[in-house]
Amino acid sequence: MEWIVCFAPVAVLFVGITFVRAKIPAAAGTGLIVSLVAAAIIGGIGESRVLEGAETGISSALSILYAVWPAMFLYDILRESGAFETLRTFAQSLTQDMLALVLLFAWVFSSFLQSITGFGVPVAVCAPFLVALGIRPVPAVTMTLIGHSWGNTFGTLGMAWDALVQMGPVENTSATALFAGGLLWVVNLSGGMIVTGIYGGRRALRHGLPLILLMSIIMGGGQTAVSLVDTTVACFLPSTIALVAFALLIKFGFYKKPWHCDSWVSEIDPATIYSDDARSGDAGNQEEATVLNRKDEPQAEASPRSTAQLRYEGAIRQSGCTPSLHEAALCASPFAFLVAISLVIFVVPGVRESVSTVQVGGIQIVGHAGFALLASCLFASIVMTRANRLDARKRIDACREALRRLWSASAGIILLVIMARVMQTTGQMQILAEGVASATGSAYLPFAPALGTFGAFITSSNMSSNILLAGFQHAMANSLGGNPALLLAAQTAGGAAGAAIGPSTILLGAATVGATGREGEMLKPLLAVSFAQAAVLGIIAWAISAV
């Protein structure tokens, strides 16, 4: 009964988002109230515990919002300036293979961003790119979340890994890193295949399998190898190599010819992209793509576009011209600046330690992804203004649109994080974890990744899941006579898979592409994917233990 009582806030949140289709703030607020009632029932309602949960929750939420706010402003500035459309048109001039473009932004580039920044930056940056390519907002967010989730352990320069090491504690770092790298490789490979399947089903998988395997060997295999040497750059280095390798493949003619699927996730008619001559090849093959290829699929609401951008898109289509390399470089410069400043802050030895001392209310000001995003936002505004792409009125429109979406997103994130922290400080998460272990007994190992996934779902963070559950996983390994390295690796790999279903991250993605209120549509398939990945990870961990 205690377990059911503690599970009630999670159930309320899940039902509210997916079935009632309540807005995130309403669902999270209700879940918070239920969590307080549950704490009172189990005797954990002590004033100090609740206040501690609320205090740490507000602090954590503000830290997340520090990245969310500038990310949203950056998106709207680039949208108003027509930068996304320029980059989309330029990318399609380099390759007319739509699957390659989808994999580039949803999987490879998003993983690269996750390796250095995290905090929702990959979905805030890459989902709008997919929308600019003609992908509907809901699947654009879904694909991006699935595509970069594998990097949530060694990404953000190993923050989640460091939490695992400290909270486990991890005694055999080499063995744990090896097991974690191998399990995360599975998440990486399955992520690339699922993104491909969502776009075009079996036909797309046949077409893109060589590319997926190559990129997965570089990213997943590379991370496994590098993690044995340096966990800080274990995700960053392979993701960078994969990005360069992807560009070289396109340059040398691979995945460059026109190819597309008539998929329900596409918002535009491929005929507006490809000429008749181009569509006479493989792109014109009208073979049924997938069971997802449903013409009766309800139309998704497009992301908001300014009148200026619509005029720009129309001019591009009518003239048939391709943006110059200089125009593309100009529009991509804010992202290049984001990467450069992130590398300086997070990778250059000594810089991160120096700037981490600059804090306000416990939140790092400079040593945070939010600072890099804020600087990139200012950089984008200056560059686009000097290039006559952004005037005072467009800046006002961008700010107005960002603020309109920020209110709902911010309220939802704050309530979600407070709910998670209250459940943690009042002992509800510990009861839930112990209940799973008690129910499974000696057969616990296959369920260890699912527990990590569940922790990430509740807290919207693999790092928080590791902080919350790493010690419990270590204790379970000792009590069952198992290998702590394997259980801790299963914990963080499951947490990485669960990072795709964090409600606050979904909320950020939905707000960025103008799909606020449709988070439930995203959560349903993401839940199936994340827990399916966790089940596979559990079977693999069990097989390794048996051997």
pLDDT in tens, 237-249: 899 899 889 989 9
Residue 124 is predicted with a pLDDT of: 83
- The CB-side HSE value for 235 (13 A sphere, CA atoms) comes to 32
Which helix H or strand E contains 143, and what residues bound it? helix 137-148
Q: Which residue has the tokens 């603020």?
A: 403
Is the predicted pLDDT of residue 316 greater than 50, yes or no? no
Rounded to 10°, the helix 369-386/325-346 angle is 150
Cβ atoms within 10 A of the Cβ of 235, count? 34
More confident residue, 367 or 138: 138
Quickly list DSSP for 67-129.
HHHHHHHHHHHHHHTTHHHHHHHHHHHH--BHHHHHHIIIIIIHHHHHHHT-TTHHHHHHHHH
Tens of pLDDT, residues 480-514: 788 899 999 999 999 999 999 988 889 888 888 88
The residue-averaged pLDDT of 360-387 equals 85
Is the predicted pLDDT of residue 96 greater than 60, yes or no? yes
pLDDT band at residue 112, thresholds of 50, 70 and 90? confident
Residue 398 is predicted with a pLDDT of: 84
pLDDT band at residue 231, thresholds of 50, 70 and 90? confident
pLDDT band at residue 188, thresholds of 50, 70 and 90? very high
Quickly list DSSP for 479-524.
HHT--HHHHHHHHHHHHHHHGGG-HHHHHHHHHHTT-TT-HHHHHH
Give CA–CA dist 363/205, Å, rounded. Answer: 43
Residue 148 is predicted with a pLDDT of: 96
Residue 246 is predicted with a pLDDT of: 94
Is the predicted pLDDT of residue 145 greater than 60, yes or no? yes
* Low-confidence winner among 100-104, 118-122, 266-270 (lowest mean pLDDT): 266-270
Residue 528 is predicted with a pLDDT of: 94
In a 3-state reduction of DSSP, which class is residue 243? helix
Is the predicted pLDDT of residue 536 greater than 70, yes or no? yes
Q: What angle do CA 315, 321, 326 make, to 5 degrees?
A: 105
Beta carbons of 301 and 137 less than 8 angstroms apart: yes
More confident residue, 164 or 290: 164
Q: Which residue has the tokens 């590398």?
A: 343
More confident residue, 406 or 538: 538
pLDDT band at residue 47, thresholds of 50, 70 and 90? low
The residue-averaged pLDDT of 28-50 equals 83
Is the predicted pLDDT of residue 531 greater than 60, yes or no? yes
Is the predicted pLDDT of residue 205 greater than 80, yes or no? yes
Residue 45 is predicted with a pLDDT of: 66
* Low-confidence winner among 89-98, 137-146, 207-216 (lowest mean pLDDT): 89-98
* Low-confidence winner among 175-189, 369-383, 528-542 (lowest mean pLDDT): 369-383
* Low-confidence winner among 198-202, 390-394, 409-413 (lowest mean pLDDT): 409-413
**Across all residues in the chain, what is the average pLDDT?**
82
Q: What is the DSSP letter of 135?
A: B
Q: What is the DSSP letter of 356?
A: T
The residue-averaged pLDDT of 389-413 equals 81
Tens of pLDDT, residues 65-80: 887 788 778 878 888 8
- The CB-side HSE value for 252 (13 A sphere, CA atoms) comes to 6
The residue-averaged pLDDT of 376-395 equals 90
Residue 44 is predicted with a pLDDT of: 65
Q: What is the DSSP letter of 220?
A: I
